[in-house]
Structure 1
Amino acid sequence: MVFATPINNVGAAITMFVNVFVFTMLRTSVCNAQAVPALYMLGDSLVDVGNNNYLPLSVAKANFPHNGVDFPNRKFTGRFSNGENAADFIAKKLGLRTSPPYLSLTDGTTPPITGVSFASGSSGILNETGQPYIQYISLAQQVDYFSLVRDKLVQQLGPSVAQVHLSKSIFPIVIASNDLITYFTVGSLVSRKYTPQRYIDLLLSNYKGLLKTLYALGAQKMVVTGAPTIGCCPSLRKSSRTGECNAEANFWSKKYNDGLKVMLQELKSESLGLNYAYFDIYSAMINLFLSPETYGFTNIKEACCGLGYLNADVPCIPTSTFCLNRRNHFFWDLYHPTEVAASMFIDIMYNGTQPYMFPINLKQLADI
């Protein structure tokens, strides 16, 4: 290394040497110890690992039984699942611990170097999507929280090392289900305000703006999950006497995904250094539902936990009943997959090929 100004003072030279050594060691440890140094999770209840536990007014919580019945020590953690959820399985694939909820970090706490989760149950791309649940962290607010974490990283590591750290970190974003479910729920007010196509255009426009902000803050490796077959959730199936999927909701979910793929390609062309892996969970679900027994499922219509028709008239609460064999049920509750279903999808996300993963999968993204 060449210094611009000669150093005549021995003490100053030693100080300079120590600073350079520490910087180099930090950079080496961040870059080489692990291909993916951190996982910054954004999204909704599909990947919430407990943020909503810290929102006193939120009615979108899972910090009670029977949630967590298959989690270690049967612990209910705030995950909308019988056990672990997609966030846990993504972390395992990358050799990381599950990122802790952002709201669990007390004021002044230095965020863990291995990442933070900002995901919040009931949140959506639009700020108003979660309003029926009173308190939640919208995607825009999640991005704002990440900005605060980024600032602390810069203070902790210095600008250059922090930039390298973030450029190698993975940013999974699992969002849009609540936006679409809100539109297609019976009596929806938002459906009176927008046509389906206008609503999808609004979602994609807002989403692109938030992804651009994330990129500007240093996120260069994003995993973006499309909308699932929301019409096949027990909450929407129950409007059919035979428990069939809501075809209209699924049609527009697919239209949203078509637009999302175009938007991501545009974003990459506009953003130097950005790489992404798109997971077409919609197609993966359709494939599974066509032959559920192949994957070990004997029940793809009913929620495992709940009450009433398809166990979908009452959510999963302590007074609900729940199935004894969670491995043969696809849905845990009105909206969310069981632990085994979530694990299968993350296997696809990590190793899958087209049409489920485009243009690369999570493993290839991590290796870049």
Structure 2
Amino acid sequence: MVPAAFVFGDSLVDVGNNNHLPVSLAKADFPHNGMDFPNKKATGRFSNGKNSADFLAEKLGLPPSPPYLALVSNSSKSNSSSQFLTGVSFASGGAGILDGTADKYKQSIPLTKQVEYYLAVHESLVQHMGSSGAKQHVTKSLFIIVIGSNDIFGYSGSSDLRKQHTPQQYVDLMASSLKDQLKHLHSYDARKFVFVGLPPIGCCPSQRNQNKTAACKEDTNSWSRMYNTALQAMLKGLKAELNDISYSYLDTYAVVQNFVLNPSAHGFTEVKAACCGLGNLNAKVGCLPISHYCPNRRDHVFWDLYHPTEAAARMFIDKVFHGAPQYAYPMDVQQLATVGA
């Protein structure tokens, strides 16, 4: 449907970039991660199997976008641009929109750096296809942006940040910083964007575990909603400024809230506890080789402290890809793919 998918984001869509960051604390290259992946191996995806970027690629008829750091570390050839042709993933566990967000994970690729890496890929495509060929290729491709949760977790966990910024100021800073990066991408031929809004992150097991009743953390959820509102306002303004862009905003909040409030309608039986972990809600310790894991991953919305199961990721993409105006607007992903085709 499109020639390529370029993925920017955090651990929700990391497909193995962090495996190549020697001191990063945000890694998933060990069991029980990947236990339901095709070869039953941990790939660096924070999931029991595939993640939402994989399912989106499948729907688009593309192979999964490979991790950029794997491509550049394997590339002994001086010109390996052909491996970038169907897209690349720059996503990195722990990454944020704001540069300081990833500091607690020691090493991560913040959005600013992910965009720099894309510029190197763009240059490589220009060498390979010529500037007009590369431009035509890239303008038809999708740019998938899945980032912001770690910035909210960072705000929630830092009294310093909360002293410096009101919640509104902080989410506005996130949105304006993202806008700067989008303009940068646009100046290198990016035209079609998929924005994945923040889910109700206060409902993930790590946050519920902070409440005696295991209820969702309402302040974290309210900041997620506040950011989503700021993001949508920013996108409308950006579209007015750069009228050659098209985008699809995915209302992750509504989809995941629906899973949590009406689990049985979606085939889930467990919405609070993680499948893989230890302690209360399997949320005291993350998914490590020593952790317990649930026998039926399909029952659970959450795989570990923060991340959805493969089943939840697949269902999310099913809902937003085609024909769900309440979850994807101003157009769904399938419509976006056909723009300018």
TM-score range, shorter chain: over 0.9
Matched, 1:154 2:120: no
The letter for the 2-side match of 1:113 is L
Counterparts of 1:322-333 in structure 2, within 5 Å, are 322-333=293-304
Contact 1:182 1:188 (8 Å CA) reproduced? no
Matched, 1:42 2:8: yes
Counterparts of 1:177-216 in structure 2, within 5 Å, are 177-185=149-157, 188-216=159-187
Alignment partner of 2:206 out of 201, 217, 235: 235
Q: Quick one: distance in 2 between partners of 1:189 and 1:302?
A: 30
The letter for the 2-side match of 1:168 is K
Which aligned runs of 4 or more in structure 1 are off by greater than 4 angstroms? Answer: none
The letter for the 1-side match of 2:99 is N
The letter for the 1-side match of 2:225 is K
Matched, 1:73 2:39: yes
**What displacement does 1:255 show?**
1.1
The letter for the 2-side match of 1:120 is S
Contact 2:84 2:125 (8 Å CA) reproduced? no
Alignment partner of 2:62 out of 75, 96, 100: 96
The letter for the 1-side match of 2:254 is S
Contact 2:15 2:89 (8 Å CA) reproduced? yes
Q: Quick one: distance in 2 between partners of 1:189 and 1:130?
A: 16
* 1:238-293 residue CA offsets vs partner (Å, 9 max, x unmatched): 11112110111111111111111111011111113100000010011112222111
Find the counterpart in structure 2 of residue 175 from structure 1: 147
Matched, 1:270 2:241: yes
Matched, 1:119 2:84: no
Counterparts of 1:1-368 in structure 2, within 5 Å, are 35-106=1-72, 107=75, 108=78, 109-110=80-81, 111-185=83-157, 188-368=159-339
The letter for the 2-side match of 1:206 is S
Q: Quick one: distance in 2 between partners of 1:272 and 1:92?
A: 29
Q: Quick one: distance in 1 between partners of 2:299 and 2:199?
A: 20
* 1:67-108 residue CA offsets vs partner (Å, 9 max, x unmatched): 001011211000000000011101000000001100011353
Q: Quick one: distance in 2 between partners of 1:311 and 1:192?
A: 32
Q: Quick one: distance in 2 between partners of 1:273 and 1:198?
A: 29
Contact 1:235 1:334 (8 Å CA) reproduced? yes
Contact 2:47 2:309 (8 Å CA) reproduced? yes
The unaligned stretches of length 5 or more in structure 1 are 1-34
SS at match of 1:128: helix
Contact 1:63 1:76 (8 Å CA) reproduced? yes
SS at match of 2:272: strand
Q: Quick one: distance in 2 between partners of 1:242 and 1:272?
A: 48
**What displacement does 1:188 show?**
4.6
Q: Quick one: distance in 2 between partners of 1:148 and 1:65?
A: 33
**What displacement does 1:191 show?**
2.2
* 1:3-41 residue CA offsets vs partner (Å, 9 max, x unmatched): xxxxxxxxxxxxxxxxxxxxxxxxxxxxxxxx3001101
Task: Out of 107-116 and 196-205, give the one that drifted further.
Answer: 107-116
Q: Percent identity?
A: 53
The letter for the 1-side match of 2:267 is G
Contact 2:259 2:301 (8 Å CA) reproduced? no
Contact 1:68 1:76 (8 Å CA) reproduced? yes
The letter for the 2-side match of 1:331 is F
SS at match of 2:11: coil
The unaligned stretches of length 5 or more in structure 2 are none
| Structure 2 CA distance for partners of 1:58 and 1:188, relative to 1, 3 Å | farther
The letter for the 2-side match of 1:268 is K
The letter for the 2-side match of 1:128 is G
Over the aligned positions, Cα root-mean-square deviation in angstroms equals: 1.1
